[in-house]
Structure 1
Amino acid sequence: MNEKELLPSLHGLVWPDTGKLDCPAAGHGAGHMCLTITDAAGLGELVETLSGWYGEPRALVSEGRADPTASEWTGLPLIAPFGDGERVAEMRVWAFGGRWIGCGVVRVGSEARLVVVLAPRTTPSPGALPADASWLDRLVAVTGWDAEQVRIDPIRLDRMHSGRIRTADCAAAEERLGTALPSDYKLLVETFGDGAFDGFLNIYLPADIVKVAEFASGWAKAHGTPSWEPHPPFPEPGGLLPWAGTEHETSFYWVAEGPDPDAWPVYVTEVGPEAGDRFAMTTTEFVFRMLADPEHPYSMPADFAARWFMNYSRP
């Protein structure tokens, strides 16, 4: 299979968790799929292509050394099928719903093969989580997120130096906005970084909040606030301060009322800032309930067998 044939085949196997995983490779069993890639420029270029679709990868095997903490929750099923003289030299992995996607180099004797591997992926059910777990810990658990695995490796290092990995600078945003941000939101973006839950709910980094808030405030000053009723845009008292959005134009705000940001309610509008729904809960509780409760009024699309966080690498 060449690189041009890869993406259509891959998309069909991961969206939405319905493609049959039956590996044709000699000596490999069922329950996964290996795709040998020919006519590709190299591992770095293929990782770059897949990152454009599936977000920032994790390093599972680098320079022949596997992550010693790897488990079924962090991608181990991608390297488990290889044996009988096969050695995984490199493997970058992505979580996508109920599938693991791996891209790497497998050596058989003196031969090196560029492969893409797919394997089933599961995450703990919300009901199996400790009752006293924090909302952030619950989000980490149900998405299988491991911030330690999203670390700098030789491929990712190039992106870091090119400025394509953004960080959560909460202090700079708070100074620009003239207010503190909710503390649980700050822990959320410091833990997960730049990306989207289920590749759908885009969590704004602090710099994004500043950009969107300043645009909305400038628009309101120039055109008035009739479309913002009953809440004006921030920094007006009780104004709306955005923290997330979806591709369906659903917008998520805090109602910035009162001196304590940790007490600000969540406010959701479908299209534009017109009247929406108010929720007396923190940001992390709200996101967790979106992921875990199919009866939630803004629940995530239920097409996928497992939840995940798609980490972005964008300027």
Structure 2
Amino acid sequence: MNEDELLPTVHGLVWPDTGKLECRAAGHAPGHLCLTIGGEAALDTLVEQLGDGYGEPRTLVSEGRADSSVSERTGLPLLTPFGEGERVLEMRAWAFGGRWIGCGAVRVGGEARLVVVVAPRTTPAPEELPADASWLDRLVAVTGWDAEQVRADPIRLERMHSGRIRPVDCAAAEARLGTALPGDYKRLVDTFGHGAFDGFLAIRLPADIVKSAEFAAGWAKTHGLRSWEPRPPFPEPGGLLTWAGTEHETGFHWITEGPDPDAWPVYVTEVGPEAGDRFDMTATEFVFRMLTDPDHPYSIPADFAAHWFMNYNPPR
């Protein structure tokens, strides 16, 4: 397979994510599929191509050294299929629904080969979680997220220090807005960073919340509040402050009523700031219910076998 065929082939294997994976490579364990990449392709090029579709990868193996913390829930199925005489030299990983996608290099004898691996991925069902778990812990569990693994990723750290990964700076945003942000939101973005749940619900970083609020306030000042009825934009009393959105232009806001940001309810609008639906819960509880409750009024379509968080900032 050449690199031009890579993305369409991988996409067909992970969407939908219920098809059977059968690898015919000699000595490989069952339950996965290996794609050998030929031609003059370079690993960095392949990782960048996959990153355009699936976000920032995790590093499972770098320069022949495997991350000792890798587990079944954080990418181990991408490392176990290889047979005797094969050594994984590099492996980057993406979660997508009920599939792991891996891209790396494997040494076979004296030759290093580029390979893409697709393997099954499972996460716990909501009913399997402890009843006393916090909403954030539940969200972490059903998406299989491991914040510590991501923070310690050597390649990600290098990209972060080079300025290629956007930081989460709640304090600067709060100073600019003149108000604290809800504590659960701050813990949410500190844990997950910049990205989208199920590749659909995009959580705004604090700096983006500020930009959106300033734009909305400027628009309202110029054009009046009529187009915002029945809810004005922040910083009007009880105004809307947007913290997430989707590609379908659904907006997720807080109603900034009262002095306690932790008590701000969630407010959801379709296209534009017209009348929406109020939910008396935190943003984190709302996201969890949106992902896991098929009867939720804004439920994400259950097209996949598992939930995931697509980390933005693809490799460049």
Q: Which bracket does the TM-score occupy, shorter chain normalised?
A: over 0.9
Partner of 1:86: 86
Partner of 2:140: 140
Aligned residues: 315
Partner of 1:73: 73
Partner of 2:109: 109
Q: Distance in 1 between matches of 2:34 and 2:4?
A: 16
1:178 partnered with 2:178: yes
Following superposition, the deviation at residue 66 of structure 1 comes to 1.6
Partner of 1:206: 206
Give the TM-score taking structure 2 as reference length: 0.96
Deviations 1:118-154 (A, max 9, x none): 0000001100100110000000000000012224656
1:216 partnered with 2:248: no
| Corresponding residue SS for 1:148 | helix
Q: Distance in 1 between matches of 2:6 and 2:115?
A: 10
Q: Distance in 1 between matches of 2:40 and 2:292?
A: 39
- Structure 1 residue identity aligned to 2:271: V
Give the TM-score taking structure 1 as reference length: 0.97
1:122 partnered with 2:122: yes
Partner of 1:255: 255
Gaps of 5+ in 2: none
1:1-315 equivalent positions in 2, closer than 5 A: 1-151=1-151, 153=153, 155-157=155-157, 159-313=159-313
- Structure 2 residue identity aligned to 1:209: I
Contact 2:30 2:81 in 1 (8 A): no
Q: Distance in 1 between matches of 2:198 and 2:75?
A: 17
Following superposition, the deviation at residue 39 of structure 1 comes to 2.1
Contact 1:58 1:151 in 2 (8 A): no
Contact 2:266 2:278 in 1 (8 A): yes
Q: Distance in 2 between matches of 1:7 and 1:180?
A: 42
Change (3 A) 1:269 1:184: same
- Structure 2 residue identity aligned to 1:269: T
Following superposition, the deviation at residue 72 of structure 1 comes to 1.2
Q: Distance in 1 between matches of 2:36 and 2:157?
A: 26
Q: Distance in 2 between matches of 1:191 and 1:39?
A: 39
Deviations 1:84-103 (A, max 9, x none): 10011111100000000001
Deviations 1:229-255 (A, max 9, x none): 111000000000000000011000000
- Structure 2 residue identity aligned to 1:265: P
Q: Comparing 24-33 with 98-107, which one deviates more in the overlay?
A: 24-33
- Structure 1 residue identity aligned to 2:224: G
Following superposition, the deviation at residue 43 of structure 1 comes to 1.4
Change (3 A) 1:169 1:147: same
Change (3 A) 1:192 1:250: same
Gaps of 5+ in 1: none
Q: CA RMSD in A?
A: 1.4
Contact 1:62 1:153 in 2 (8 A): no
